[in-house]
Structure 1
């Protein structure tokens, strides 16, 4: 998530400006609405009439969204006014406020509508990898996310109406305020925007602003000079702010002295009669600049060369060749002179007009050698700092600079968090710097900076940013004909594509990296690429190819004695064997990986392997052991602050709780997992979490909601070509359709899932899907096909020792025998199913089998025994929160009471079932 901090307190109506800084910060709470407004303007003065009119427009409302076009010349205070008004109105918009700097007149280039939509949608919690490519589709998704929400949207510094059109919501509950230099006539004509042209301050407002900044005692002592100053600055807020700051910081200088200084020279004298208000900006900048000490002037000029949106004293120290303490003093002097703005967190920002002015002064006064040296110092400092911080994120990865010192194996979480915080704050600066040095043709700095930010971008799943900087790095490496740098860039690009689910692109880039590593005789690099290729094939559910590639990687890693990498590949192989239901081999490889992780003290890796082992135990029906290992993994991941890992472990923990009937715990865990998956933009994890959530909702009887969630999951998993995940999603959907009585659709999706399972050799999944097909056929009254599917599932479960699947297949067979009238056989089969379910602690299996046994015993005429089984099943269903099964059990209980001649009890239970059906229909 991105927090937006103001860079607009240099002019305006007691603050300048038209520019806002984007500063990445800690994520918001998952459910918190976006609050992107920059800080409000302290001591805002003037513009009362305009503020009242803005408020009346919102009060009036209408069938379409209220759109306000606030226009005016640079420095007139458009952004300051928009931000101040937005703060005043914020309580009217409980669903949040968006702020987008469209950079219409920035030398960095205007933001495209596509980029702006991407920023907005990410803020609205759409992961980067889920964003459509087509701009119309982006706009449609944006409007969908805003539908029926009360949100305030500030679109700052628009270049022209076309930039704004795609960013307009479709719902009347939203309000949009657009700031721009030019009149947005087309926006008014096409969308009914209310145009408000912001004029110069009135004389009274301008006097009030000067008094607020310079100090009212001083201006009241020299009223005539203050009035002259207002006229000299043409009542332009930015010019007034900077001129007043001069007075405030020079107690020995009178207001009259400032007026006299402004009046010097032919050009400046024209300001007194207001021939060109825009010139007031340059004049006041000149005045402030001339009043600075030589050292401070140099600092201001060189700051104009920085292309990132904000700077910290440490970076400024590097730029100037000074200490951070000296840079901090210089920044303070510039701030008091009104030439930079402190934006919080020890960071500073230049208004866009001041940046342009500083660049102009540098061009006039600094030689190209001085400018180049300053940027090189800055880039070198960022490189060294990012490289060292990156080692705290992944100490084991080989970097381009192999001589870097690795930190402790498991550093203090607070220290690691500090490095993560630095990366988060500097992310936009680092990205801008890579582009700047690439444009300057500094090839080595380009690829080294890309490599230095890789670990942070990879950890936070900033895959698109990683791709952008590494493509620049690859171009630089190709220009310089540097094969090692080309290897790193290709390999990192491949991993980023894999994490975005773009397996074709990942395979192409990996092939290029593999060829380079072989040419360089780089065994470490060759093994890294082979393991990445194996994991890409795992994502494609091509387990046999994954195993072949993994074995090659393992051989090399053992040959070069890379213990950490060996554990990684052992985990890769364990996942491959698990995919083929070869659990003994999977377990053996994961155990070997765990031993290595513990030997080298790798906590992050230990949690990954514990998760792997938990899945293997689950696959063999040992749910108790699976839960224990999952909880161990979660504890480690929380201790070390691994958010991505927490999302993965929480999702699986939810799945396990669901499988044993603890649905409330499952809901809690899966909602946490889904929020984290979306936060870190993990599409595969998000798809898996949605499948789990859909299954839980189905188990709770919320079939429509389960279907909608399942379809969303299928869409994601198909997009990233995760065939195993796609089969899981289809399986779940077939069960949803069956519950909704849509047998044809249920059968079609189950058969699609079965074909996928068989194509990837997933025997565990094949058994599950056969079970689902059997239930569909039983529900449709096709008992022959149902029996064949159940027996095939039972045979597979026995072969792979899947006790959970075994219990489910036996339960299905018992129901089929019941439908065939083979009551004794049905009872014996159900008893076997119950024994297995109790052995592995599978509560859901116990509930449905006890219920089935109640029906079988009832058919056999043993009503008392039937009632005893049903009461146990009902109690378990209540404990598990499984409302659907509870209703089925109540219905059966009512029938048994009728059989026993207990009419009153039967009526009471039937009424309770009816009430629960009504409650179920009202569930969210």
Structure 2
């Protein structure tokens, strides 16, 4: 039973029928009894509430009559009992909508500071319970106090909701709602503050300040008081252009990336360019893009980083940075890879990142929309590399650096170009003065000569200054002469006096000052195939210990011949790397260079294998046996240490695979593929698998070719694209294993083929493959494979309606997990058990298993299973008529599905949320969700899910009396079910037959009684 007081009073019985409470006296009686639910209410209290302080002599008799009528409305007479102390109304927990409302408001307010996205869903569900004014047209003090308290809590809920929306970055979306609330509650300073923040962080500073002035005028006029300190501080920060945060300082509510590299040292000059960039921020129409262009070594990156640090406080929603490597010896960073890094920085899990470049760009623009963010795109090679990385919101600012003029960016995107010339003589002198102090003033002529020898390039000047500091007894004139001699002895890079010549001369001069071992380390940096590196990898190349390598890197760091980046990693400027490679080719023989590279290959492969042993120890038997690294290796004993090393070296591990022979490439792929799979780095996994496939075919290694095909096919299937190609790879993988006579590998191939077929709705074919996987694996095969194939087989059996059989297999899988202490997969198995129990009508068992699975999933971080549990618990709440709780659970599950990015889970959760909206009397919301699910299922080619969605939409249309639309959806559902040979086809045929027989409203009612989506959408 449910008691509705947040609007016109109503009693909703267990059978779902609602009974309005008519008449003022009946509403007052019910209200007073509910206000003191489960307590005895004396007769005189009730009579006074009904008829005032002076009831007539027949008040007791009339009260008895009204109690009798209320018992009839309740439908359960024993709910309202009479005893010596008065009348008592028995109310169970959660039966009063006001009680559920207050509980949800408390939960939402608590979540707002920790998880604003979930808070939004909870608070919107709370506010959706309101349908009018509680206890309207009553003048009973007790009910008036209750109504006033509820109205205050409603306002608190609105404030918390708007605060959470702003914290999630939905500034523009909440401005209209806040404007209405401010108009309705003009003395509520918190609402004024939230409106100011939303306007300000939408880039509407002048409107935010106008909102403050309006708030002040209202408060002064109505109360004779100035705004409080919070509003005044907001105005001050906005006038100063400082960031404003929701919920106080130090509480960022969404992912706020801070990816800028450290501020540069030894920076001098560039005041005009810095002021020019500042001016772009303060204009009435802020530039979305600014391009800093200029020659190599002119200080583009230094200027961009210095300015970014100078203005970072004006971008409170975060700063994104990527080195696009446009002109180094590495391959330039592909736009899709840069977008992947940005999306991870913005809080997306790997599996939630789209695969298509255009989709990634669209997702990126959505996440930064209306957020005040700075995006620095450093060292770009071309307009095409930059364009997908540009935000679409004018609240963001993109700063691009490139040697290219980026004319297309200026013409099409309206970029403002800042052309960076070489330093002026005065600026160059300032740079040297900061580094060398009085020596500059003592030798002005020599200083000028050094400036000209360095072509007024900051990079060359900083290296020269460090050389001068290292020789305090030498005069600057001697250094200038040495540099002139060295410059003349080098081959010119450009016959027209390109400034690169000066840089190369300075490099050479600085290099000659290095000791033998340090000079060799510098040359080896030019051979490293990756971008940045650590002391362990440098030690491997050089044949040194990490301590000696670290000392050499420290010398290079002091000489400005290498830069230090985060996490104890090092990288040279791309010009320095090119110069180091040139020196290595000229100084070290081919055999020495090859030996250094081979040591690096051995180090990376061995260390990657050790890291994988720590991350996935249960799969060590499937990885290649590689020799242990003979030197000192990084600490990888724990799971966290190993995972951090893999994350840091991921790009290098992929790049190094292109530089070894076929055997090395294959071993690396076989070693790290599972890390990429777990982390959701699916683009990288496809690249790795294609490379392994190519090398395996080249050397005729049929087994590793089959491994590569299996991973490639499964990854393509997981991405929901190229299904025919995916099945082809998987089938060829199976054929190779059969020819090789490898039962365990055949089991893996059958399991993979089963997964791919189930994803397309071919449940019987998938079941055949899972049964073959179990048969090939046998009772003595790896338990992990037996558990995986068993759980996957249950998915097919469940879809085919074979519940008892599925239940037995799932219990076997549960026993395997418990025996081996595998809590992660135990949560998945328990979630599957819960769903089976629900399908079999065992609601309490289903709820118990789902609750346990949810706790385990949250403990082990298994977010996909967490979403499955929330979805099922929502279904169970819907089936017992608790629509508000079901909506809240399904909304939370849908948020998780979006975060994880699994297409199947997203479609299924959308269907369940739609069915719950339909059951709660919100058909329009249900149909919108079904439309979205149809689009998702069509795009991902999830045919069974598509059929389920059409069946759910048909039921809602039928309930609305839209019979033509209902028939159309049922016919579409039937076509898919029949094509897949699924048992749900029989149910849809029956519904279509009933619809055809129906004539008018009676037939429509008969169809309407079917639950939207029915069993097929569960």
TM-score band w.r.t. shorter chain: 0.7 to 0.9
1:250-292 Cα offsets, whole Å, 9 max, x none, are 6666655543432333527999xx9653322112211221111
Distance 1:234 1:545 in 2: 71
Match of 1:246 in 2: 467
Determine if the alignment matches structure 1 residue 338 to structure 2 residue 554. no
Determine if the alignment matches structure 1 residue 54 to structure 2 residue 292. no
Match of 1:882 in 2: none
TM score, norm. by length of structure 1: 0.73
Distance 2:393 2:561 in 1: 41
Distance 1:30 1:770 in 2: 51
Match of 1:78 in 2: 300
Contact kept, 8 Å, 2:291 with 2:402, in 1: the verdict is yes
Provide the secondary structure at the position in 2 that maps to 1:69.
Answer: strand
Q: CA deviation at 1:765?
A: 9.3
Change in Cα spacing, 1:804 to 1:386, as seen in structure 2 (3 Å) is closer
Determine if the alignment matches structure 1 residue 427 to structure 2 residue 650. yes
1:772-791 Cα offsets, whole Å, 9 max, x none, are 9989999x954226536858
Contact kept, 8 Å, 1:296 with 1:333, in 2: the verdict is yes
Match of 2:532 in 1: 310
- Equivalent of 2:788, from 555, 568, 579? 568
Contact kept, 8 Å, 1:777 with 1:785, in 2: the verdict is no
Match of 1:233 in 2: 454
- Equivalent of 1:473, from 684, 692, 695? 692
Match of 1:601 in 2: 821
- Unmatched 5+ stretches in structure 2: 1-250, 629-634
- Equivalent of 1:262, from 475, 480, 483? 483
Larger Rg: 1 or 2? Answer: 2
- Equivalent of 1:360, from 572, 575, 582? 582
Contact kept, 8 Å, 1:738 with 1:746, in 2: the verdict is yes
Provide the secondary structure at the position in 2 that maps to 1:264.
Answer: helix
1:61-93 Cα offsets, whole Å, 9 max, x none, are 43x954323211111111221233233334444
Distance 1:367 1:681 in 2: 51
Contact kept, 8 Å, 1:620 with 1:804, in 2: the verdict is no
Change in Cα spacing, 1:388 to 1:166, as seen in structure 2 (3 Å) is closer
Contact kept, 8 Å, 1:690 with 1:713, in 2: the verdict is yes
Provide the secondary structure at the position in 2 that maps to 1:201.
Answer: coil
Contact kept, 8 Å, 2:486 with 2:505, in 1: the verdict is no
Contact kept, 8 Å, 2:994 with 2:1003, in 1: the verdict is no
Distance 2:593 2:508 in 1: 21
Match of 2:61 in 1: none
Q: Which residues in structure 2 correspond to 1:708-747 (within 5 Å)?
A: 708-734=928-954, 744-747=964-967
Q: CA deviation at 1:571?
A: 1.4
- Equivalent of 1:39, from 257, 262, 275? 262
- Equivalent of 1:89, from 297, 311, 314? 311
Determine if the alignment matches structure 1 residue 617 to structure 2 residue 831. no
Distance 1:730 1:540 in 2: 16
Q: Which residues in structure 2 correspond to 1:113-262 (within 5 Å)?
A: 131=354, 148=370, 150-165=372-387, 167-168=389-390, 171-212=393-434, 214=435, 216=437, 225-248=446-469, 255=476, 258-262=479-483
Change in Cα spacing, 1:266 to 1:530, as seen in structure 2 (3 Å) is closer
Distance 1:173 1:593 in 2: 52
Match of 1:282 in 2: 504
Contact kept, 8 Å, 2:293 with 2:401, in 1: the verdict is yes
Q: CA deviation at 1:364?
A: 0.8
Q: Which residues in structure 2 correspond to 1:462-611 (within 5 Å)?
A: 462-502=681-721, 503-611=723-831
Change in Cα spacing, 1:461 to 1:112, as seen in structure 2 (3 Å) is closer
- Unmatched 5+ stretches in structure 1: 1-27, 407-411, 806-924
Provide the secondary structure at the position in 2 that maps to 1:435.
Answer: coil
Contact kept, 8 Å, 1:443 with 1:476, in 2: the verdict is yes
Structure with greater contact order relative to length (CA < 8 Å, sep ≥ 6): 1
Q: Which moved more, 1:81-90 or 1:278-287?
A: 81-90
Match of 1:685 in 2: 905
Q: CA deviation at 1:367?
A: 1.5
Distance 1:43 1:389 in 2: 39
Provide the secondary structure at the position in 1 that maps to 2:591.
Answer: helix
Distance 1:693 1:46 in 2: 59
Distance 1:65 1:740 in 2: 50
Q: Which moved more, 1:192-201 or 1:225-234?
A: 225-234
Q: CA deviation at 1:504?
A: 2.4
Distance 1:138 1:781 in 2: 49
Q: CA deviation at 1:334?
A: 1.5
Provide the secondary structure at the position in 2 that maps to 1:541.
Answer: coil
Match of 1:24 in 2: none
Distance 2:409 2:482 in 1: 43
Contact kept, 8 Å, 2:361 with 2:389, in 1: the verdict is yes
Contact kept, 8 Å, 1:392 with 1:419, in 2: the verdict is yes
Q: CA deviation at 1:450?
A: 0.9
1:447-468 Cα offsets, whole Å, 9 max, x none, are 1111111111111222221111
Provide the secondary structure at the position in 2 that maps to 1:206.
Answer: helix
Distance 2:584 2:886 in 1: 61
Change in Cα spacing, 1:362 to 1:554, as seen in structure 2 (3 Å) is same
TM score, norm. by length of structure 2: 0.66
Contact kept, 8 Å, 2:834 with 2:850, in 1: the verdict is yes
Contact kept, 8 Å, 1:46 with 1:205, in 2: the verdict is yes
Q: CA deviation at 1:629?
A: 2.1
Q: Which moved more, 1:253-262 or 1:761-770?
A: 761-770
Change in Cα spacing, 1:660 to 1:71, as seen in structure 2 (3 Å) is farther
Distance 1:665 1:252 in 2: 80
Match of 2:94 in 1: none
Determine if the alignment matches structure 1 residue 380 to structure 2 residue 380. no
Change in Cα spacing, 1:45 to 1:328, as seen in structure 2 (3 Å) is same
Provide the secondary structure at the position in 1 that maps to 2:290.
Answer: strand
Distance 1:480 1:129 in 2: 36
Q: CA deviation at 1:702?
A: 6.9
Q: CA deviation at 1:325?
A: 2.2
Provide the secondary structure at the position in 2 that maps to 1:41.
Answer: coil
Change in Cα spacing, 1:748 to 1:391, as seen in structure 2 (3 Å) is farther
- Equivalent of 1:390, from 601, 608, 612? 612
Contact kept, 8 Å, 2:335 with 2:357, in 1: the verdict is no
Distance 2:342 2:902 in 1: 18
